[in-house]
Every structure is written in C-alpha cells, then in structure tokens.
Amino acid sequence: MLKETLKALNIALNKVLSNTSNKVYKRIFDKDYLKVMGQIIAGTFIVAICTNIFLVPYKIIEGGVTGTAIILHYISGQKLPVGLTAFIMTVPLFIAGFYILGKHTGFDTIIATVLLSLFIDITFSISKTIVYRYFPAPDEILDHPLMALSYCLISGIISGIGFGIIYITGASTGGTDLAAMIINKYLPKISIGTIIMILDGTVIILAGVVFKSIEITIYAIIRAFISTRVIDFILNRSKNRLISGTKHYS
C-alpha cells in the first residue's frame, strides 16, 4: 500500500515539475518575452551607468534602496558594494511583489533587480576611472550651483529613461519603485512617479544629514523630481499607445 502511494506521488510530482518546466521554457523563449527581457537589460544598464557616473562620486542620492546603499557605502568607508547591498535590502520586497503584483511581475522584478545590482558593481571601477579622468572633482561640482544643476538635469533624464523602460514591462528594480507599484495597485489615482518621489524624500533628507550638506539634499530633490517626471511621461506615453492600438484593432 505504502509502495503504491509513493509511486503515485512520484508520478504526480514528475507531472507537476514537467508542466512547470514547460511553462517556464515557453515563457523564456517566447518572442514577446525576449523583447521584455531586452528592455529590462537595457533599462537596468542605463540606470547602473547613471548611478556610477553621476550619483555615487558626487554623493547625490537618488533615494530608495539604491540611495540607502550609497549612504552605507560611504559610512562603511566605501567597503560595502552598492549593488550587493541594494540587492540584500530588496529581498523582503520580492516576496510582497510576488504575491501582490503577480508571479510574472515578481519573476521579472527579481531579474531586473539582480541585473541592476550586477551592472552597478561590474561597471563601478570603469565608471570611477571615467569620472576621475573626464569629469570635474566632486567638490568642484558642489561649489558651482549651475554645474551641479546641469548634472541633476542630465542624470535625472537618463535615470528616468532607464527606469521608465523597465516599468513599462511591468517589472521594477525592487526598491521603492516596487513599493510604489504595490501602493499604486491600491491607490491608482496617485501616479507611480509621485509615490516614488514621496518615498525617496526620506532617504534624500537622511543623506543630507549623514553627509552634513544641505546642498546635496537640494540637488537630490531636484534630480528626483526630474527623474519622476520623465518616468511618468514614458509610462503615460506607453499607456496612450496601448489605448490607441486597442482602438485601432477594435
């Protein structure tokens, strides 16, 4: 009796695993999903480069998990890698995203978060060399408001584009953007960009306290505002295209 029961369980388990693996295989090699993966890779790479060139060297925090990781990076004497620290801090949000936003969103978010963490740490040394060779010194930037504002504008636009590309796939990078997507699900009238700006504000203010610089806080707020507006623009444009496409084929 026990032998027959174990045999039946084994058959059932093999069937479940076979069906699951087939679904995963079909999803991964689906043409539409490959396009989504391409967008996630492109978006995370853009954000990683922007983080290492415009944010980390000048202590201009973007808020959220990555911003917190940058703060910890400096508090630890630059011993804690930004990417790995951000990934570890994001793990609890994975679970929430998986259950609240759906399995596919959770899976894509895990991929996006892992890629962003890897890209940040992989490109860190190269970006650091580029910054110190071709970009002004941190003190020089902060001492010239016009130059600092131009950096905020450029980095805000670039990171906004990167995050926007990621968000239109339905994924996130697992930080406050994931928290914002969860909140937006229950409060759809508040845009994702606005929620991110509110959540990131706390981290930005904390950075000003830790680095003892009101200028850093002001520049970070300006940069965050620009970034969130770009994100909202990309998401709204994507929604309008979807609506137009639906009307066209209806």
pTM, two decimal places: 0.74
| pLDDT tens-digit series, residues 15-31 | 544 554 454 445 555 66
The answer to whether 44 and 60 have CB atoms below 8 angstroms apart is no
| Mean pLDDT of the 64-77 span | 90
Helix, strand, coil share of the chain (percent; to 5) = 85, 0, 15
- The per-residue pLDDT for range 130-178, each reduced to its tens digit, is 888 888 877 777 778 888 899 899 999 999 999 999 989 888 777 787 7
What pLDDT was estimated at residue 228? 85
pLDDT above 70 as % of the chain? 82
Residue with the bigger pLDDT between 101 and 41: it is: 41
**pLDDT tens digits, 102-127:** 766 667 878 888 899 999 999 988 88
Ordered by start, the domain boundaries in the chain are: 2-242
The conformational region for residue 59 under phi > 0 = left, psi -120 to 50 = alpha, else beta, is: left
